[in-house]
Each structure stands twice: as structure tokens, then as C-alpha cells.
Structure 1
């Protein structure tokens, strides 16, 4: 059983950072529409934050990062922060302390940091490789939404397990899925990442300075998925790795009528690379 020390620390730090104004949770409401099942759609009620508005280059918020949001440093390589604009409580960011580009390859040091956190707190991990894949910041960061061992990591987790078992149809776009054997083995994570990158023709860090195409990663203790991306948005919905896990967010730019007519699976198909 995990200690979940980081999760508890994140909740306590969140209270203090919210009281000081350093943490700004986004107000949302759940859209109750059975036609969207198993996807979870939330409507943003807060003013749309800058990182969702676009509008060109912005200062790097991680150099330096806000001290009030710092949860823990992992030696000199990485630091764990609270997401400043969370939708869900205790949303964690694992960032490199020194500048590393989000558009570069995830390294062995990054996977070791992921595994270190995973030994304490489990949940839904995700990564957006660049702006075209939904990344809002250029500084390398992986993200974790903590989850209990007895709850699904994301709305589509059961679908992924059925697909791995051969009991669910595959997606009609470019992606790779694999079962995991260990929840906290950095070498396994790195090997899955590199193998799926080659399978999806993203490239190889031994010969390519950066991946050839935008992509998302999403993984938990049981599965690891890479999705090759074509574009960041469709019908006013910005889609990052959370979308491929079943989480969607509607803003004042979103065309709710389009989503009602076409459904969330079609939304994902429009933003993923076609087969």
C-alpha cells in the first residue's frame, strides 16, 4: 500500500496556497448528458486563464517557479509543484529544475523522477509534447492526478483494460497501447515510451534531436498509451492528453451543439493523426 505522503502534502499545501491567492482553482460545473458516457465533460465557469487563451509566447512560469506552489524537490533534477489553475484537487506537476524543452525527448532522468513519485502516490499521469498536443508551457513537465488504488485513474481506464485483454475495439487513429508489469520501474517506462515512439514514427532520440510529430502520453499502474496528434483543437474544444483519458472541458469558445451532434469520440478522431 502506498504512503500517499505527497498527495496529503499537496492537499495541505493547496489550502495554504489558495488562502494566500497563489493557487487559483478553476470553477467548473459537470455537464450531465448520458450521451457523452463514459466521457466526463465539465463547463468552465471561471474566466478563461491565459494558458487556455493562446495569444503567442508567454514568460516561462517555471523559471523561476512560484515558491508557494513548491511541494518537494527531487535532488537537483526535478521539483514537484501544484498546478496553479487546477480543476481537480492536488493536481501535481513534475518539472525539470533547469530548462528542458517540452518539445524534446523525455529522458531516463525524467522517468526516474516519475517512478520516485509513483512509489508514494499513484494516479493518472499525462504529458502533452507541444502546443499542437495541448501543452500550455514550453518547459518540460509531466502531470499527475492522484487516485486511490480502488478507483479508476480516468473515465476510459476500463476501456483500456478491455482493449489490452482483447475485449474492446481499437481506436481509428494512430496510437499505441501496452500493459504495464510494474507501477514504479523507470526502465520499463522508458522502454515503453521509446518503443511506442518508434511504432508511431515519432522518431528515436539516438538519431533525432526531437520527435517528428506532436503526441500525448497517458498512463497509470496498468497501461501506457501514446497518441500521435494532428491538431490541438476542434469545434472550440482544446484537447490534450486528458481528452484521450475521457476528460473534456468546455469554455466560452466551445461549440456544444457540435459535440452533441458528433460526440466525443469524433472529437478525438478529428484531433488525432489518422491511420
Structure 2
């Protein structure tokens, strides 16, 4: 039984960080666009945060990290932080304390840190491997949107389970999907990650110094999904791993008429690599 102490602590830190101005939640509006269900599309009402703007080098916000956003240290080498610009309350980041590249391989120590958190607090985990898969920062970080037991982790979770049950046809983009075997313990994560990277020709850390292609990871207690990416943008939408979970954010440059005409599945097919 999870105690959710990290989640409770994140809420307390969120309130303190908001008062100090260190936490800047994004103001959004849920859009009613015909035909996009089960996707959830939100319009960004706040000014576009720096991590969504194009162009120019950016300072590393994690060296050092903003101390009012710190939830807890994860021994021996990671820290649990609040996302500075959340759409959902208590959006959490697991980051390396020292510099590790987002575009490098996820390592055993990273999975150890994820396990520390997931044994206490569950939800939707995701990872963007680099700029072409929606990463806004080059410093290694995995992300968690906490969920209550029994609560769907994301809008597309029922479809992933249907695929695993063999009751739904596969999509036409390059992805691997497997059922989790150790939901809270997390001992299956590293093996699933490596198996998916090999299956999608992303590479193998035993042979390749870094991944050969950009990709997204998404997982909860029941499933683990890897998507090989081709490009980051489509129809003016910036698509990271959350797009493949069923969450899309419309900004001032997004073509909502295109989305209504073609649908979100076409958007995902556009930004993902084609299935071999």
C-alpha cells in the first residue's frame, strides 16, 4: 500500500513555492473540439513560458536547481523537484544532481531513483529523450503526474490496455507496448526500456554511445510504452510524451482547425516515426 508521502510533501512545497513566486502554474482552458475524444486538448491562456519558446541557448535550471521547488533528495544521486510551470498540481521531476544529458541513455541509477518514488507515489511517468521528442531541457529528468489508486493515469490508458488484451488493432507508427510485471517495485523498468529500444532500433547502450533516434517513454502501474519519434512539431502543436498519453496543449501558433479536420491520431502519426 503506497503512503503517498512524496505527493503530500509536493502539495505542501507547492503552496510555499507559489507564495515565493518560484512556482508559476499555467492557466489553461479545456477546449470542446468535436471528434478529438478521448484526447484532452487545453488552450494555454498564460503567456508562453520560456521552455516552450523557440530559439536560442537556455540556461540549465537544474544546476543549481531552484531550492523552493525541492520536494526531497533521492539518494544517492537524484532530487525530486516540482515542475516550475505545471498544468497539473504537484507535477514532479526526478533529476540528476550532477549533469547528465537528457539525450543519453537512461541509466541504472535513474531507474533506482524512479523506483524510490514509485514505491511511495504512483501515476503517469514520462520521458522526452531530446528536443525532437519534446524535451525542453537538456539535463536528465523523468517526470511524474501523480494519480490515486484506481484512477486512470491518462486518457489513452484504456486503449493501451485494450491493445495488450488483443482487442484493438495496432497504430501505424513505431512503438512498443508491454504489460508491467512489477508495478510498485519497479524491477521490470530497466529491462523493458532496453528491450523496447532494441525493438525500435533506437539502439543498445552496450553497442551505441547514445540513442540513435529520439523517443518518448510513458508508463504507469499496468503498462510501459516507448514511441520512436521523427519530429517535435505538427500543425503548430508541440508534442512531447504527453501527446501519446492523450494530452495536447494548444498555443498561439497551433492550428486548431487542422486538428479538427484531421484529428489527433493524424497529429501523432505525423510526429512519430513510421512503423517498419
TM-based fold match above 0.5: yes
Misfit runs of 4+, over 4 Å: none
In structure 2, the gaps of 5 or more residues are none
Question: 1:106-145: per-residue Cα shift (whole Å, max 9, x none)?
Answer: 0111111111100100000000000000000000000000
SS of the residue corresponding to residue 14 of structure 2 reads helix
The answer to whether the 8 A contact 1:101-1:139 is kept is yes
* Alignment match, 2:232: 232
Comparing 178-187 and 139-148, the one that deviates more: 178-187
The gaps in structure 1 that reach 5 residues or longer are none
CA distance in structure 2 between the aligned counterparts of 1:7 and 1:184, rounded to whole angstroms? 15
The CA deviation at 1:34 is 4.2
Find the residue that maps to 2:188 and give its secondary structure.
helix
Q: Distance in 2 between matches of 1:74 and 1:145?
A: 18
Report the 3-state secondary structure (helix = DSSP H, G, I; strand = E; otherwise coil) of the residue aligned with 2:71. Answer: strand
In structure 2, the residue matched to 1:247 is 247
- 1:224-250 deviations in whole A, cap 9, x for unaligned? 000000000111000000000000000
TM-score (norm: length of structure 1): 0.99
Distance in 1 separating the partners of 2:169 and 2:78: 38
Residue 57 of structure 1: how far off its partner (Å): 1.4
5 Å-filtered alignment, 1:1-80, equals 1-80=1-80
Q: 1:97 deviation in Å?
A: 0.4
Q: Conserved in 1, the CA contact under 8 Å of 2:229 and 2:272?
A: yes
Q: Give the SS at the match of 2:210.
A: coil
Displacement of 1:185 after TM fit? 3.4
2:268 aligns with: 268
How far, CA to CA, are the matches of 1:83 and 1:68 in structure 2?
A: 11
State the number of aligned residues.
275
In 2, the alpha carbon distance for the partners of 1:148 and 1:271 equals 31
Residues 119-198 of structure 1 aligned to structure 2 (within 5 Å): 119-198=119-198
The whole-number CA distance in structure 1 between the counterparts of 2:208 and 2:50 is 32
Whether the aligned pair in 1 keeps the contact of 2:118 and 2:185 (CA below 8 Å) is no
